[in-house]
Amino acid sequence: MSGPLPAETTGTRATPGHVAILLSASQVASRERIFLATAELLAQRGYRVTVLAARPNDELRARVQAPLLLRDIDPTATVPGLRHLPHVVRLYCSLPVVAKFLRQARPDVLFSTSIPPNMVALGARLLSRQNTRIVIRQSNVVRARGHAASAGVARRPRDWLMPLLYPKADAIIAVSQGVAENLSAIPSIDPSRIHAVANAVAIDEAAEKAREPVDHPWFRPGGPPVLLAAGRLIRKKDYATMLRALARVRAHVDARLIVLGEGPERPALERLIASLGLGDCVDLLGYRPNPFAFMARASLFVMSSRFEGMPSVLIEALACGCPLVSTDCPSGPAEILDQGRFGTLVPMGDVERLADAILQALRTPPDRERLVARARDFARQGAAERYVEILTGCLAAADAEAGHGLGRSAVALTR
């Protein structure tokens, strides 16, 4: 599903406008890379671009180079008692900071990158009473009445706010057809404002980073096969099923598992690893800025998620030629792997089927060059170009309103 651009007019803007991009994370992972590519493309075309992030780390600060601007929106920076709040809580608490930014900097468009920053962006516009255009990006399926694929998705408090806030967005980018269909099942959202733009990766950058060395003893030549997983240690990733499947696999093959990522589920996963007797063959390695080098050397990439949107990590693994096994969760894996042509899809939460798929993939690995070729269908530049097209369409719509002397509410009545 892909709606029309927010405006068909070219507008009368004499100079390019100001675009702000509200990130969901303080580090540079697969999600952030595409937004930085979008920011750089906008800057190349003369737009003023400000990147907003709560407590950006050194890597993100290094990546945001002039003429891009970086602004820390962490509301707890000057409040010592709040500095240890989880990142997502700090992000929600940044709403008044973002509202103040909208009042002072008056960007033409604010582009937010996933559910928490989407809520913040839409709430900040209401609080600031500015006419900033809001473009939001939906990266996951949510519980939606009448949408069968989302039935297994846990309901969160924010899901009750989405039908109220999301219709106020000027455009919504869905990261897959599955996510677009999921959003369309919410009656208050206008489907014509939804644009399906598949996640993408920089294929050449992945290939370059894949050649960097990896200092890990499990990658010695002739060693046992190494399985790889990557993503935050959170419940939706269902690492518990992966670990139980690994225990079954090891009854046949001396396989190891490396997990790249950090998160609140670490203590529970460490207890499960110990109870399964996997302490010497599982390494929860934490966040690593270069996952590509691991992907290029792993025997198999495994994803066990309960739900996703369009998991970039699968595309990145393809770009490195790494064979894949993934749950057929809503949504994204089936689209990326073309219904199983480029990797094995298994039911969610099925330990036995996941273990069998891992064993089969280890016995008969696919042609890695074929996987790399598939990854090229998701080249980042195309996605960034489409993001820019949608953002500049919103700028054109704002110019058209200003040119006709219409306020936001008046134009809404003419749509």
Find the CATH number of the domain harbouring 280. 3.40.50.2000
Q: Is residue 134 part of a domain?
A: yes
CA distance 335 to 176: 8
Neighbours of 396 (CB within 10 A): 20
Task: Kindly state whether residues 158 and 194 are assigned to the same domain.
Answer: yes
Task: Kindly state whether residues 189 and 125 are assigned to the same domain.
Answer: yes
pTM (2 decimals)?
A: 0.76
What is the tally of structural domains in the chain?
2
CA distance 175 to 386: 12
Residue-wise pLDDT for 20-75, tens only, equals 999 988 878 777 888 998 999 999 999 999 999 998 989 999 999 999 999 999 88
Helices (H) and strands (E) in the chain, counts: 17, 13
Q: Is residue 10 part of a domain?
A: no
Q: Is residue 8 part of a domain?
A: no
Cβ neighbourhood burial of 405 (10 Å; 0-12, 13-18, 19+):
exposed
Q: Is residue 174 part of a domain?
A: yes
With a cut of 70, list the residues of the chain below it in pLDDT.
Answer: 1-15, 77-82, 143-158, 380-381, 402-415
State the pLDDT at residue 410: 33
Q: β-pairing, 324-327 with 344-346? A: parallel
State the pLDDT at residue 343: 97
CA distance 204 to 27: 21
Task: Kindly state whether residues 99 and 167 are assigned to the same domain.
Answer: yes
Neighbours of 374 (CB within 10 A): 18
Q: Is residue 153 part of a domain?
A: yes
Task: Kindly state whether residues 390 and 371 are assigned to the same domain.
Answer: no
CA nearest 354: which of 311, 315, 325?
325
Task: Kindly state whether residues 224 and 362 are assigned to the same domain.
Answer: yes
Domain that holds residue 280: 203-377
Q: Is residue 68 part of a domain?
A: yes
Task: Kindly state whether residues 188 and 279 are assigned to the same domain.
Answer: no
State the pLDDT at residue 4: 41
Torsion angle defined by CA atoms of residues 287, 383, 112 and 411, in that order, rounded to the nearest 10 degrees: -170
Task: Kindly state whether residues 235 and 373 are assigned to the same domain.
Answer: yes
Q: Is residue 12 part of a domain?
A: no
Quote the DSSP letter at residue 201.
B
Task: Kindly state whether residues 288 and 231 are assigned to the same domain.
Answer: yes
Q: Is residue 341 part of a domain?
A: yes
Task: Kindly state whether residues 163 and 134 are assigned to the same domain.
Answer: yes
Task: Kindly state whether residues 48 and 177 are assigned to the same domain.
Answer: yes
Task: Kindly state whether residues 192 and 224 are assigned to the same domain.
Answer: no
Task: Kindly state whether residues 110 and 232 are assigned to the same domain.
Answer: no
CA distance 122 to 140: 18
